Amino acid sequence: MAISSILAMAPGISPDVTKTSPTTFESQQKFGSFLKDAIQDVNASQVQSDVMTEKLVRGENVDLHNVMISAQKASIALNATMEIRNKVIEAYQEVMRMPV
């Protein structure tokens, strides 16, 4: 059996040479935009929590449990962001300690 007939039966086996991996610049842009979006989401949750807290303090019609849920979501998002930042700093410091 010829190899060409096998490859014709299973086109998924042959390597796809048309796909290219993203360049370093493209990867950096994707990571940068992902990081920016994540930080903006954390900021938006903090702002929403502040707005709901202010409404509660002013006596507007806001449920206390919704205010507390919003505050906890913002707190969890901020804590997760801080932990990610700490891990990135630790990884950077570890790379800097590596001998050249």
Report which of residues 15 and 48 the model is more confident about: 48
* pLDDT score for 29: 86
8 A C-beta contact, residue 77 and residue 42: yes
Considering the chain, what percentage of its residues have pLDDT values greater than 90? Answer: 64
pLDDT tens digits for range 14-35: 555 566 666 788 888 888 899 8
Burial degree of 49 (CB within 10 A; 0-12, 13-18, 19+): buried
Angle at 50 between CA 45 and CA 85, to 5 degrees: 45
Query: 66-85 pLDDT, tens per residue?
Result: 999 999 999 999 999 999 99
Side chain identity at residue 1, one-letter code: M
Residue with tokens 């990571």: 31
